[in-house]
Amino acid sequence: MFHWWRKKTGTLPFPEGPYVTGCVEIMNDYSKDSLFVRLLYPTDVHPTDLQKHSKRWVPWVIHEKYMEAFAALLTLWLFILKLILFLVGKIYIPTLWEEPVTTEKKKLPVVVFSHGYGATRFLCSTVCNELASRGFLVAALEHKDLSASITYYYKSENDRDEDNKSYLMHIPFDIDVKEHYSTRNKQLKKRVDECKRLIDFLDDINNGNGRNILKSNFDLDSLRGRLDLSEPIIMGHSFGGATAMYALATEPRFKLGVILDGWMFPLKQEQIEIHKPMLFVNTHTFHLEANIKLMKNFTNLPQNELYTMRNTTHESSTDTPQVFGYWLNLFMKKLDSRIALKIQNYLILQFLQKHTGLEIEEDLVKNYLKLRENDLTNDYILFAKKALRKFTLF
């Protein structure tokens, strides 16, 4: 599957939970409306053996078409992006491809993850992998609303057998277009529909009726009766943050939300109320006056928490600084990207401990967040009143 990218030269941050994680990808139908999802989950591999299995670690970029899509999104020539990756080194996710799911933990709580605009199912692998190492099954969607940088489906079994992918290409972002809001709002609702359908599909898997049309050696039936769908969590970055919020407002099955640098614009005309706990983790340079005004309607509620990481950009919530380096706010001194991800992960773990009883190293988490308290505020940072560029990414 990963034939074009073999040599290992670097990894994303290793997860800190007690489980080594596994990874499998699922597509449930031959249709452009099929669900395409990456599952990350705990396994029975001992943590000391993770390095021994490094040949099965998953490349961060799994197909060259995604490289082409990122280059187009960043308005770069493809060879420049490849040169950057050559200089940085090939990056792998420390998770084991199609490793069997753990038999030690009987029930796996579920997290649905929604990516941002121009992103993909793997762009926030660090946070997803961390949660899987804590015993969650994380289902990271690749949305088919044309907000992903690129995605694909198979029209038929024959196309699947010949790996003849049908690609769905990204809709370019332009805030000056008259239809900007109506287009984003329409995409928002398609995204939320996919999140709801994903819960239905996970329920099918739980009942032994799941289907994966992709070629795979993973035993989907090993998840039969193993998924705890009583209180699924929804999490998202940027456009995915708005997706998570609208899903919380319209789907009773979602009980908790984690909003990473949420982009509120697609929600601005929606009259919604959310009486479920939410955690908001913002970055320093992303939030405009209008975004903050909309977000305050929710962060002012007593059950919700808000933090902003100082000296960070919209990329800091994702893996991309680990892979491409920082691209936004080039001349600003930035918080080390691994520190930013660790702060974000620990805030999420602390929130989940409070609301789900998740077992964490409580003193370790509190002490680290105390150590980094100068990098955090529990208030907003207004970076600009209006957008400084006509496009955004991730």
Q: Which active-site residues does the annotation give?
A: 238, 261, 314
First to last CA, the chain: 25
- DSSP 8-state assignment for residue 270: -
Q: How many whole angstroms separate alpha carbon 278 and alpha carbon 338?
A: 24
Give the Å distances, CA to CA, from 86 to 197, 321, 324: 39, 15, 10
182: which 2 tokens?
A: 């109506």
Burial of 298 (0-12, 13-18, 19+ CB in 10 A): buried
- For residues 236 and 243, the answer to whether their CB atoms sit within 8 Å is yes
DSSP 386: S
**3 state SS of 319:** coil
> Alpha helix locations (H) across 170-286?
180-206, 239-250
Residue with tokens 């929130």: 351
Cβ-proximal residues to 164 (8 Å cutoff; 6+ apart), any chain: 154, 155, 158
